[in-house]
Amino acid sequence: MSTARPQGARIDPSGHERRMQYWLARPSGERVASLGQLPAMVTAGLLTWQPSFAWSGEELVVARGRSYELEWRTVSGRVRQIMRLTRKVEQITDAQWQKVLTDVVPAGSTAANKRYVLDAMGPKPSAAFPPHGSILVDPQRRVWVKDFADPSSVTVFGHDGVLLGRVLLRSLPATPRSELVGVGADHVQVREQDADGFVHLRFYRLHVRR
**Where in the chain are the domains?**
2-91+127-205, 92-126
What is the DSSP code (8-state) at residue 92?
P
* Closest by CA position to 157, among listed 170, 169, 167: 167
User: Are 61 and 72 in contact, with CB atoms under 8 Å apart?
Assistant: yes
**Interatomic CA distance for residues 168 and 139, integer angstroms:** 20
CATH of domain 2-91+127-205: 2.120.10.30
Share of the chain above pLDDT 70, in %: 83
pTM summary value: 0.72
pLDDT in tens, 61-112: 988 877 788 999 887 778 888 888 776 667 778 887 777 777 777 777 888 8
Q: What is the CA radius of gyration of the chain?
A: 19
Non-local (6+) Cβ contacts of 173 within 8 A are: none
Contact 136, 151 (CB under 8 A): no
Bridge partners, residue 24, by sequence: 3, 33
Say how far apart CA 23 and CA 6 lie, in whole Å.
Answer: 9
For residue 40, give the nearest of 66, 76, 14, 59 by alpha carbon: 66
153-157 and 143-146: which strand pairing?
Answer: antiparallel
Specify the pLDDT at position 4. Answer: 36
| Mean pLDDT across the chain | 78
